[in-house]
Amino acid sequence: MFYVYIIYSKTFDVYYKGFSENIFQRLSYHNDNKSKYTSGKGPWELVYSNVFETKKEALVEELRLKKLNRKSLEVLINEQK
Protein backbone atom coordinates (compact mmCIF):
# COMPACT_ATOMS: atom_id res chain seq x y z
CA MET A 1 0.00 0.00 0.00
CA PHE A 2 1.07 3.56 -0.70
CA TYR A 3 -0.05 6.64 1.18
CA VAL A 4 -0.38 10.29 0.29
CA TYR A 5 -0.36 12.53 3.33
CA ILE A 6 -0.54 16.11 4.50
CA ILE A 7 1.21 17.19 7.66
CA TYR A 8 0.81 20.54 9.38
CA SER A 9 3.11 22.64 11.54
CA LYS A 10 1.11 24.83 13.90
CA THR A 11 4.32 26.64 14.90
CA PHE A 12 4.97 27.86 11.35
CA ASP A 13 1.38 27.56 10.03
CA VAL A 14 2.52 25.54 7.02
CA TYR A 15 1.38 22.36 5.27
CA TYR A 16 3.60 19.74 3.68
CA LYS A 17 2.36 17.16 1.18
CA GLY A 18 4.12 13.85 0.60
CA PHE A 19 3.91 10.17 -0.18
CA SER A 20 5.19 7.10 1.67
CA GLU A 21 4.70 3.39 2.19
CA ASN A 22 4.67 3.95 5.96
CA ILE A 23 3.17 7.29 6.98
CA PHE A 24 3.87 6.93 10.70
CA GLN A 25 7.53 6.20 10.11
CA ARG A 26 7.62 9.12 7.68
CA LEU A 27 5.96 11.43 10.23
CA SER A 28 8.68 10.49 12.72
CA TYR A 29 11.26 11.25 10.04
CA HIS A 30 9.81 14.75 9.64
CA ASN A 31 9.61 15.35 13.39
CA ASP A 32 13.20 14.15 13.85
CA ASN A 33 14.36 16.88 11.42
CA LYS A 34 15.65 14.38 8.86
CA SER A 35 13.87 15.98 5.90
CA LYS A 36 15.42 19.06 4.31
CA TYR A 37 12.22 21.08 3.78
CA THR A 38 10.50 20.22 7.06
CA SER A 39 13.60 20.33 9.27
CA GLY A 40 13.29 22.85 12.09
CA LYS A 41 9.65 23.65 11.34
CA GLY A 42 7.96 21.08 13.57
CA PRO A 43 6.35 19.67 15.44
CA TRP A 44 4.41 18.13 12.56
CA GLU A 45 0.93 16.67 12.87
CA LEU A 46 -0.70 14.28 10.40
CA VAL A 47 -3.90 15.99 9.21
CA TYR A 48 -4.78 14.00 6.07
CA SER A 49 -3.97 10.66 4.49
CA ASN A 50 -5.25 8.57 1.63
CA VAL A 51 -4.25 5.03 0.64
CA PHE A 52 -3.56 3.71 -2.86
CA GLU A 53 -2.81 0.26 -4.20
CA THR A 54 -0.11 1.36 -6.62
CA LYS A 55 2.82 3.73 -6.35
CA LYS A 56 1.77 5.40 -9.61
CA GLU A 57 -1.69 6.25 -8.25
CA ALA A 58 -0.17 7.70 -5.09
CA LEU A 59 2.35 9.81 -6.98
CA VAL A 60 -0.36 11.18 -9.29
CA GLU A 61 -2.43 12.16 -6.23
CA GLU A 62 0.58 13.70 -4.48
CA LEU A 63 1.23 15.87 -7.53
CA ARG A 64 -2.43 16.94 -7.58
CA LEU A 65 -2.28 17.91 -3.90
CA LYS A 66 0.90 19.90 -4.42
CA LYS A 67 -0.92 22.03 -7.00
CA LEU A 68 -3.80 22.92 -4.65
CA ASN A 69 -3.94 26.28 -2.95
CA ARG A 70 -4.22 26.55 0.83
CA LYS A 71 -7.99 27.01 0.87
CA SER A 72 -8.52 23.89 -1.25
CA LEU A 73 -6.17 21.90 1.00
CA GLU A 74 -8.08 22.96 4.10
CA VAL A 75 -11.40 21.98 2.49
CA LEU A 76 -9.97 18.55 1.66
CA ILE A 77 -8.64 18.11 5.20
CA ASN A 78 -11.93 19.17 6.79
CA GLU A 79 -13.90 16.80 4.54
CA GLN A 80 -11.89 13.86 5.85
CA LYS A 81 -12.57 14.64 9.53
CA–CA gap between residue 38 and residue 52 (Å, rounded): 24
33-42, 53-62, 72-81 — most confident range:
53-62
What confidence category does residue 80 fall into, taking pLDDT thresholds of 50, 70 and 90? confident
Amino acid letter, residue 25: Q
* Average pLDDT value for the chain: 96
Domain of 21: which CATH number? 3.40.1440.10
Burial class of 78 by CB neighbour count within 10 A (0 to 12, 13 to 18, 19+): exposed
> Could you tell me the residue range of the domain that residue 60 belongs to?
2-80
Please count the structural domains in the chain. Answer: 1
Q: By the 8 A CB rule, do 47 and 77 touch?
A: yes
